[in-house]
Amino acid sequence: MEFDITQLDKKLLVQTLFAHSAPLRLGQAEYDFRKKLGDNVDGLTDEECNEILLEFNRFDTGGLRILDYHKGKPMKLVFYKNNNGRVLVGTGSYDARNGKYRFFEALLNIFSLDEILIIKKGYSHFVMTELPEHLVRPKEQEIIFKNLIRNTIQKENYFGKHWAFDETKASYKPPFLDF
């Protein structure tokens, strides 16, 4: 999937995605070590986010890797800034390591439906990394996410076309989401 995050609070977005990420394989050792030292491994402070986003805020156009692994958690975030100022993010790398639709779930948990703008629906050649069982989403939950995405309508703003939620159809709140 791909989202237009131009109008979203990037610091809140990074904090939310970090909270929804889980340590994986080699990252697990770093996560455990940092946790043993007393580091805050499950959240990011505003100061940490400001540092993470410092270069992005000075960046004009193109793709910029925001985070790869951080504190043992796979983030794999790359923000793309277009010439017109539009900021996009693809979810494939993040979701491949944290679970399908995990990025979307993070957005739903923190932002209102009218703030979430989808540029590309679905996953192209989605390669699922072999995930621990607790990160694999049951088929019933996947169907709920697919239905939410299906109930979007195409709109256009000054940046171009996107998909937005049809509030009359998207008012359903899945029981496993906390938004």
Any idea where the domains of the chain sit in the sequence? 2-165
Q: Is the pLDDT of residue 179 over 50?
A: no
Distance in angstroms (rounded) separating the CA atoms of residues 176 and 51: 32
The pLDDT value given to residue 171: 52
The pLDDT value given to residue 55: 87
pLDDT confidence of 19, banded at 50, 70, 90?
very high
User: What b/e readout covers 14-48, taking b as 16+ CB neighbours within 10 angstroms?
Assistant: bbbbbebbbbbeebeebbeeeeeeeeebeebeeeb
Average pLDDT over the chain reads 88
CB atoms within 10 A of CB 136: 14
- pTM metric for this prediction: 0.88
The pLDDT value given to residue 127: 63
Tell me phi and psi for residue 145, to 5 degrees.
-65, -45
Sequence-distant (6+) residues with CB within 8 A of 87 are: 4, 5, 6, 10, 79, 80, 81
Mind listing the pLDDT tens digit for each residue in 107-152? 999 999 999 999 999 887 666 667 778 788 888 988 999 999 998 9
Least confident range from 28-42, 73-87, 126-140: namely 126-140
